[in-house]
Structure 1
C-alpha cells in the first residue's frame, strides 16, 4: 500500500462523522479544523451518488444494452468498490487510455441500477438512453433540480469535477503571490451546471461560463468569488469517494489557512505551496 493509498484509505474509513445537513450553508458556523471521516453510503445515498456519477461520466450503450461508467486509472479501487456494492458488472482497462470502465449488462444488473437510481436523475438525457433498453425498465422523469441534502452532487463532481490549488505571481500581494482555490465542474450539458448553480444561488452565487475553444461549459466555486465555502460545507457532508477526495483534503486545509489569513505570511504561504505539491502528485 503506497503512502497516497494509505492517506486516501484513512479518508474512506468510517468514523465519527456527525455533521448535519441542517447547517450545511450556515456561514455563522465555523468549519471544523478536522476533516470529517466518510460514512458508508446507505442504499439510498448510493443511488443518489451513482445517479450523479452516471450523469457525469456514464453512458447506456443501446447496441449492447450495457451501462458503462469510466474511471481514471487511479480510481480503479472506486470502480471495484461500486461493483461490490452493486453486486453486478465487470471492470475493463480502456485501451490506450489511463482509464478503466465498469460495465453492467445483465438484466439483473440493469434492474439493480434501476432500483437504485430511479427517480434520482436530475436531467433527462441519461433517462432517454436507459429507457431504450430491451428489458422494459422505464425510469421516472428527471427531477430537474439539484438539492444539497443528498450525494448526487458528490457523484457528479467525482465524474466531471476538478479540484485545485493555484498560485500566480502578483504585484498587488505583499509576498508577490496570489492564491486561488478552485472546485470546478465541466460539462457539454449546460442545463445540469445551471441546476447546480441554482442550488447554491441563494447563498453563494456562481456563474456558468462557456469555453469557446472546446464548446464545454464550466461552473466554478472559488475563494475569490466567496462561493468556495458553500461547496466545502457540502463535500464535508457528502464526501467524495475516489482520488479526488485527496485533492479536496488538500484544498480544504489550504482554505482553512486562508480563512485565518495565514496565506499573507511566508510560513502560511509555504504550507499552501506544500499542499499544492501534494495535490498535484495524486494523479502521477
Structure 2
C-alpha cells in the first residue's frame, strides 16, 4: 500500500512517500488467515495528548530497558534445536516481533493441520538477514507483472514444523495485537496436535509495548514512514512552510492508539477510501524530538533507516532556523527529494 499523505493541501510539494512494506492485502486477509476489522473508539479518532495518563508515557531518555518481553523458552528450544547457544539478542528479537506483527503472515491451512509463516518485502536484504540470524526458512524471489523487476518482491517462508514451533515459542506471550494472538492460537492447536497436547500453552495476554523496547522500531520498519512537505504559504518569510510527520498505517486502531499514548501527541484517524485502514500521525518539531530520541536508541533495520537519517538532518536544520534563508530552504528541498529516493519499497509489490 502506497500513500501520498495529505493530498488535499493546496500547492503542496511532497516528495516523501508513505509506504507499507507488505502491500499484499490478500496475504494478510486471505482465507488462510483470520479476517479482522478494528472499529474506532473515541480515542482512535482524536488527539491522544489531551487524555494521556502520566503513568502511560515513558521517557525515551530512560536508560533502564526492562520490558514485558520474555524469551527464555525460545532460547531454550533454540539451543535444543541447533545444539548451540542462541546468539540472538533480546533487543533484536523484540524488533523482529514488531516487524512481524506489521508485515508477517501467520498462516494456518489444510483444515488447521498445516502452518506457515511468511514475511513479504520489496527489500531482499532484510529478509536474508533474518534468515541468516534464525538459520531457518528460505527467501524466494517473485518477479511480477509487465514491469518486471519494478514490481517484484521477496518472501521469507518458514514451513518446517519444528521451525514454526521455534517461532511460536518466540511469539507466545510477546505479541501486542489481539488479532495476531488469535492467529497464533491456530498455530498452537496445530503444533500441539503434531508434537503432543502439552507442547505449548497459549498465552493470550497482549504484551505491553513501551518506548523502552525495540518493538516500535520493528513495527515502523514494516508500517511507518517519515514525511517532509513544503507547502506554499504567503504568511511565512520565504513563502513556504515546512511540515514534518512521523506516520504509521495499520488496520489495528488499538495499537496505533497505544503508540499515540506513548509519545503523548499526534492523532489516529480512519483513512478515507481505504478498507478500514487507520493512520497515526505525529507532527510538531518540538514533539518529534521524542520520536527522534526513540529511533536513535532503537535504530531501524531496513532501508527506512536511511530515510530517517535524512529526515533527522532536516529536523535539525529547521530547529536551527536554517530554513529561513534561500540557501537553507534549497538545501532542505534537496534533502527532501532524497528521502526514499531509489528505495524500491516505495513501489507496489505484485499481487499475491
Please state which band the TM-score falls in when normalised by the shorter chain.
0.7 to 0.9
Choose which of 181, 198, 203 in structure 2 pairs with 1:127. 181
In structure 2, the partner of 1:5 is: none
SS at match of 1:174: coil
Choose which of 194, 197, 221 in structure 1 pairs with 2:282. 221
In structure 2, the partner of 1:116 is: 170
In structure 1, the partner of 2:116 is: 66
2:134 matches 1:86: yes
SS at match of 1:180: strand
Q: Give the Cα–Cα distance (whole angstroms) in 1 for the partners of residues 89 and 165 of structure 2.
A: 14
Q: After superposition, give the CA deviation of every residue in 1:27-67 in whole Å (9 maximum; x if it has no partner).
A: xxxxxxxxxxxxxx952112211211111111111014111
Which structure 2 residue ranges, 5 or more long, are not aligned?
1-57, 63-86, 145-150, 193-199, 345-352
Q: CA deviation at 1:102?
A: 1.0
2:249 matches 1:193: no
In structure 1, the partner of 2:224 is: 161
In structure 1, the partner of 2:50 is: none
Choose which of 267, 270, 287 in structure 2 pairs with 1:210. 270
Choose which of 284, 308, 328 in structure 2 pairs with 1:248. 308
2:101 matches 1:55: yes
SS at match of 1:193: helix
- Tell me the TM-score normalised to structure 2 length: 0.65
SS at match of 2:294: helix
Q: Kindly indicate whether the alpha-carbon contact (under 8 Å) linking 1:47 and 1:120 is maintained by their aligned counterparts in 2.
A: no
Which segment is superposed worse, 81-90 or 121-130? 121-130
Q: What is the correspondence of 1:38-49 to structure 2 with a 5 Å cutoff?
A: 42-49=88-95
Choose which of 5, 24, 43 in structure 1 pairs with 2:60. 24
Q: What is the correspondence of 1:252-271 to structure 2 with a 5 Å cutoff?
A: 252-271=312-331
In structure 1, the partner of 2:246 is: 183
Q: Which runs of 4+ in 1 moved over 4 A?
A: none
SS at match of 1:135: helix
Which structure 1 residue ranges, 5 or more long, are not aligned?
1-21, 27-40
Q: 1:94 to 1:127 in 2, by over 3 A?
A: farther
SS at match of 1:132: helix
Q: After superposition, give the CA deviation of every residue in 1:150-173 in whole Å (9 maximum; x if it has no partner).
A: 110001001111122221211111
Q: Kindly indicate whether the alpha-carbon contact (under 8 Å) linking 2:224 and 2:247 is maintained by their aligned counterparts in 1.
A: yes
Q: Give the Cα–Cα distance (whole angstroms) in 1 for the partners of residues 306 and 121 of structure 2.
A: 16
Give the total of aligned pairs: 243
Q: Give the Cα–Cα distance (whole angstroms) in 1 for the partners of residues 101 and 201 of structure 2.
A: 17
Q: Kindly indicate whether the alpha-carbon contact (under 8 Å) linking 1:59 and 1:126 is maintained by their aligned counterparts in 2.
A: no
Q: Which has the higher contact order (CA 8 A, sep 6+)?
A: 2
In structure 2, the partner of 1:174 is: 237
SS at match of 2:93: helix
Which segment is superposed worse, 161-170 or 231-240? 161-170
Choose which of 90, 105, 121 in structure 1 pairs with 2:159. 105
Choose which of 189, 201, 210 in structure 2 pairs with 1:147. 210
Which segment is superposed worse, 240-249 or 171-180? 171-180
Q: Give the Cα–Cα distance (whole angstroms) in 2 for the partners of residues 78 and 271 of structure 1.
A: 31
Q: Kindly indicate whether the alpha-carbon contact (under 8 Å) linking 1:52 and 1:154 is maintained by their aligned counterparts in 2.
A: yes
In structure 2, the partner of 1:38 is: none
Q: Kindly indicate whether the alpha-carbon contact (under 8 Å) linking 1:65 and 1:105 is maintained by their aligned counterparts in 2.
A: yes
